[in-house]
Amino acid sequence: MKNNKIFILLFLIPLISCEKGVDWNVYGGSYERTQFVDSDKLNLDNVYRLDKIWDYSSGDSDNSSQIQTNPLIINGNFYGVSPKLKLFSLEAKTGIEIWVFDPFNADDNFFEKEGSRVNVCRGITYFKDKYKEDFIFYAVGSKLFKVNLKNGNPDSSFGNNGFVDLHEGLGSNSNSLFVTMTSPGVIYKDLIIVGSSVSEGNPAAKGNIRAFDANTGDLKWTFNTIPEIGEDGYESYNDPDAYKRLGGANAWAGLTLDEKRGILYAPTGSVSYDFYGGDRVGDNLFANSIIALNAEDGKRIWHFQTVHHDVWDRDLPTPPVLFDYSINDSVIPSLAQVTKSGYIYLLNRITGKPLHKIIETEVPSKSNLIGEVLSKTQPIPSFPEPFSRQSLSLDDINPFVLKNERDSLIKVFSSISKDHMFSPPSEEGTLIFPGFDGGAEWGGPAIDPINNKLYINSNEMPWILTMKKVSNSSSQGMNIYNKQCLMCHGIDHKGSGENPSILDLGKKYSFSDMRSLIINGKGLMPGFKFLDDQKIEKIVDYIMDLKDGDKTNILSVNEEVFYTSTGYNKFLTNDGYPAINPPWGTLNSINLNTGKLDWKIPLGQTDIGIKNNIITGTENYGGPIVTKSGIIIIAATADNMIRAFNSKNGELLWEETLPFSGFATPSYFEIEGNPYIAIASGGGKLGTKSGDRYVVFGITK
């Protein structure tokens, strides 16, 4: 009888293990940022059976809100962030709400201090402490909160009663500057290591990488991304005091961790201001670089700069992907870094050495902007081939427009500088293609580490960067506008892209309300707390008096030279489509063994595509995941769809309509052996309607 009991127990063990849940407890699925699902529960035989299981509405969207969160699933519970940055816990199987943490109620003065300027949250960080207590870290404004997963309350023993100030470790002059996090940090031992999002104008906070004690909130180490005296990279600026006044070079896209080796990888953006470098002459380390740091103490191990002296907003948009690369009968610990330009950099992740030739290539370097000194070369990978178009000609003008409009588009196209991807920013206008949003964007790639296949969605949207020399006006308010606001709201104050018009705000706001908005920010706009009271009043007076037809004063002067752009301007047709031929968004399979694209397909559909019986693709935000069984799951498009593709050939296997566009990366989890896919459905970009949903699809027995 005793032996029978042993037999029964042994028989049950595999049954118990096969019913065990599969969590998604790290942003992107792993700290290696693979976005790979090591499971075949969802496969070619059953993917068509995916059906909506539940959806959850947080009830706090507005007409400009977004959700970009990659939710976490931990021990049967589901954790996400709402449009207004409420952290919530649900039952993963049913979507039933367990608790909600509202950061604005946690501190009565928080809203007043942070204003209505709240960051987008792309992900959250899970931490289990030595007492087996579970927590989540996430950023709201300039606060990094630590929340107990048992009850949704802040951990009072962490920092200042549950949060640390993200200005810490950036220098005392950063306290009035905009600092937040859009991407989550990583946990290494008892450290929470973070990057940051800062202003892309001047002044901007520094983009230092920092590690806090995950238990106490104490700052443990800081890596200066703009080197100070005596630090490596200090000589890459032609000014000994550059570090005192410059900001940016921040890892806004998130971080990657080789936990076994204790190496942290930080991808950085440009030094602020993005489009003019006359005040930061030199290569500008450690901007636009992959930086490998010792995760224990923050010491630099190696770096690789992908763009020298960036004036094209070529930030590294996503953390590198870690994988083991088989080449020449050896296995090399490697990383793949995708870029906005469509290039992929393959490096040995221990040494930083390229796996294939990266050639310092001569590029246009003569700028007509006073004071600008461009790099004569840029590092161009020879392998693999780019995944995005990188140049345009007249033959690429949108084929769907009528002749009169086509002539108008050709006139604009012929008037701008466009001979090279690195054509200098100019006053006549310079084509930025791939655009400011890629190529690759923050959703990042998914990798099949078994077959060395990389899957990446890409944008192909042309933008026109036009620089202007700004004069000193008799109006102090206009001078402040020119330096701080013009790049987003334009010469005519009508805005561009997602930046709204600021005309007639005097009819909508009182002076005190406008003053509060300028100080604290709103939506995508950072606050301007660094301006003194007199300057705040001057810019408020200026904006309150604006009316249609007013233009800012832009002239050449012999005084101090300052350049700004006229806004983030897409090159569009009259009906809002890209002024070039499709595809406007693609999904790509890159074979890292051969360096070739195995396939490329348009991703997403538009009304004009339906009308002309062609799949055009759309701009896309949020990345794919890929399963061991060869299923790619991605939303990301402006047409409100989530789709499944065959990773071998790009064949569409399944698609479903979301309540709002899913500008986020999906998550995968299993409960009781059943596979589930979760996606944030928040819209709000590319003119789409904003929403507040999370949707879960699954296959149940």
Where do we find the tokens 């570090």?
243
* Close Cβ partners of 595 (under 8 Å, ≥ 6 residues apart): 356, 383, 384, 385
Tell me, letter by letter, the H, E, C secondary structure of 303-349: EEECCCCCCCCCCCCCCCEEEEEEECCEEEEEEEEECCCCCEEEEEC
Q: Residue 291 and residue 91: Cα distance in Å, rounded?
A: 38
Where do we find the tokens 């200090």?
234
- Residue 473 and residue 379 share a domain: no
Q: Is residue 381 part of a domain?
A: yes
pLDDT-derived band at 107 (thresholds 50, 70, 90) equals: low
Element (H, E) at 694: strand 693-698
Q: Is residue 292 part of a domain?
A: yes
Q: Residue 84 and residue 59: Cα distance in Å, rounded?
A: 9
Specify the number of domains making up the chain. 2
Q: Residue 310 and residue 282: Cα distance in Å, rounded?
A: 10
Please tell me whether the peptide bond between 384 and the residue prior to it is cis, using omega within 30 degrees of 0.
yes
Span 314-333, average pLDDT: 94
Q: Residue 439 and residue 342: Cα distance in Å, rounded?
A: 5
Question: Quick check: 679 and 659 in contact, CB under 8 A?
Answer: no
Which tens digit of pLDDT belongs to each residue from 151-196?
A: 999 999 999 999 999 999 999 888 889 999 999 999 999 999 999 9
Q: Is residue 317 part of a domain?
A: yes
**Measured on CA atoms in the order 480, 486, 491, 494, is the torsion positive or negative?**
negative
Q: Is residue 96 part of a domain?
A: no
pLDDT-derived band at 106 (thresholds 50, 70, 90) equals: low
Percent of the chain with pLDDT over 90: 78
- Residue 517 and residue 381 share a domain: no
Distances (CA, A) of 630 to 553, 602, 645: 57, 19, 8
Range name among 3-7, 405-409, 520-524, 657-661 with the lowest pLDDT average: 3-7
- Residue 335 and residue 232 share a domain: yes
Q: Residue 697 and residue 52: Cα distance in Å, rounded?
A: 4
Q: Is residue 8 part of a domain?
A: no
Spatial strand order of the sheet with 463-465 comes to 430-432, 463-465, 569-570
- Residue 508 and residue 366 share a domain: no
- Residue 267 and residue 354 share a domain: yes
Burial annotation 273-293 (CB, 10 A radius, 16+ → b, else e)? bbbbbbbbbbbbbbbbbbbbb
Where do we find the tokens 């859009």?
182
- Residue 484 and residue 372 share a domain: no
Where do we find the tokens 């929403």?
691
DSSP state of 202: S
pLDDT-derived band at 21 (thresholds 50, 70, 90) equals: confident
Q: Is residue 153 part of a domain?
A: no
Last residue of a domain, one of 535, 566, 597: 566
CATH of the domain at 259: 2.40.10.480
Q: Is residue 233 part of a domain?
A: yes
The count of residues in the chain is 701
Q: Residue 543 and residue 535: Cα distance in Å, rounded?
A: 12
- pTM listed for this prediction: 0.91
Last residue of a domain, one of 362, 388, 414: 388
Domain limits for position 308: 223-388
pLDDT at 220: 98
pLDDT-derived band at 545 (thresholds 50, 70, 90) equals: confident
- Exposure of 98 by Cβ count < 10 A (0-12 exposed, 13-18 middle, 19+ buried)? middle
Span 475-493, average pLDDT: 74
CATH of the domain at 472: 1.10.760.10
Radius of gyration of the chain (CA): 25
pLDDT at 92: 98
Span 487-514, average pLDDT: 77
- Residue 374 and residue 477 share a domain: no
Question: Quick check: 205 and 177 in contact, CB under 8 A?
Answer: yes
Last residue of a domain, one of 534, 549, 566: 566
- Residue 486 and residue 384 share a domain: no
Among residues 338, 410, 347, the alpha carbon closest in space to that of 588 is found at 338
Q: Is residue 345 part of a domain?
A: yes
Q: Residue 570 and residue 577: Cα distance in Å, rounded?
A: 10
- Residue 229 and residue 350 share a domain: yes
- Residue 344 and residue 244 share a domain: yes
- Residue 353 and residue 501 share a domain: no
- Residue 343 and residue 483 share a domain: no
